[in-house]
Structure 1
Amino acid sequence: MEYQIHGSTMQTLEVTLHPGDSVFSETGCLISMTPGTEMSTRAPGGLGGIIRRALSGNSLVLNYFYAPRSEETVRFTTRMPGHIVAIPLHQYGRVIVQRHAFLCAEESVDFGVEATLNIGRFLGGNGLVFTYLEGDGTGFISVDGEVVHQDLARGESILVHPGHIAAFTADMDYRVQRIQGISNMLFGNDGLYMIRLTGPGRLWLHSVTIHNLLHVLGEYGRVGRDG
């Protein structure tokens, strides 16, 4: 498999499949594919897998694209203006991907959905079910806005707004921390909790969140109705 990422503020991913190669993706992100590409829609894990993916905020099924005889090309796009990041999983190991950030991956990549009893994840706004990628292939995530990434040394921490987290390596310690101060909690407009991530590891962040975008667009909608 080979790939190219095109564009600037609304990027697309072009994947070249050699005979025998296959990729899978979230539903709704396909732009085009050459006629010789075989496509199938599957629900890995059966009914349980569907329920777990629904709880994680991802699509209920996955689309698979296969090149059976000749070189084929498949193109994908992001759901919002943003950037596509290729993650070589042999370099990072298991990567936790937050809801809606997964785009596609080579079929050799293990794409899993797991539940956790960490109530802090739920209070932090990221739910009790999360998605992970691991294996020897390459996974691709969609980052809204600009990509902000940071490498944390062992014991180094950062506080992050939960809505801005796109992905992070699984070795990082994830804890929820309440925002300090009543006035900050009531009037700061940044929620009640922050996420403390502690290294070692890498994290990838969205520079814009859907929540903030909808808030801005809603203001324009109200102006239009009032006018």
Structure 2
Amino acid sequence: MIAFASSFPGQILARQIVPGQELIVQKTGFLASEAGVSLSVYFQKKLGAGIFGGEGFIMQRLSGSGMAFLEFDGHVVQYDLQPGQQIVVDTGYLAAMEGSCSMEVQTVPGLKNMVFGGEGVFNTVVTGPGRVWLQTMPISNVAGEILKFMPSGK
């Protein structure tokens, strides 16, 4: 028997990888896989948005053949996008998407939205067709919330 666990409270998703149907996963999402699964780097195509967009720039590509196990933070919500259908998410909440989807990191429109919106400066736009998995509790957000309650040392 082989056992493994998530490093943070969340969910482990088992996904069969088959040739021609790759999976794009957040950079910390890969947990384990069978030997036939290949792991490589996936880059967001627009360098400027990728660098300043943070989480959405460097992801992992799973291809080949075999079972892969992925770990996501919090609860996982799955969406099936039709061709051309888009979903806009806060950067960091995109856990995974099928390789048939495309993604783009975009600047939040309007200075007021950036400054007073409380959600950051960038969003990730995922365009179908394909399946998308979103996570509800990225560890970076949890760390930021916990930091508010830490003694300041004054």
The two structures have a TM-score, normalised by structure 1, of 0.62
Query: Residues 109 and 117 (structure 1 numbering): CA distance in 2 closer, same or farther, change over 3 Å?
Result: same
Kindly state the Cα deviation for residue 142 of structure 1 after the two structures are TM-superposed. 0.4
Gaps of 5+ in 1: 1-72
1:215 aligns with 2:144: yes
Q: Specify which of 140, 145, 165 is matched with residue 94 of structure 2.
A: 165
The two structures have a TM-score, normalised by structure 2, of 0.89
Aligned equivalent of 1:85: 13
Aligned equivalent of 2:120: 191
Query: Residues 150 and 216 (structure 1 numbering): CA distance in 2 closer, same or farther, change over 3 Å?
Result: same
Q: Specify which of 102, 107, 112 is matched with residue 35 of structure 2.
A: 107
Amino acid at match of 2:72: V
Distance 1:128 1:194 in 2: 12
Higher relative contact order (CA 8 A, sep 6+): 2
Query: Residues 116 and 158 (structure 1 numbering): CA distance in 2 closer, same or farther, change over 3 Å?
Result: closer
Pairwise CA RMSD: 2.1
Distance 2:126 2:59 in 1: 16
Distance 1:207 1:117 in 2: 25
Question: Map of 1:55-74 to 2, 5 A cutoff?
Answer: 73-74=1-2
Which has the larger helix fraction?
1
Identity of aligned residues (%): 32
1:76 aligns with 2:7: no
Kindly state the Cα deviation for residue 91 of structure 1 after the two structures are TM-superposed. 8.6
Paired residues in the alignment total 153
Question: Map of 1:175-190 to 2, 5 A cutoff?
Answer: 175-190=104-119
Distance 1:129 1:191 in 2: 18
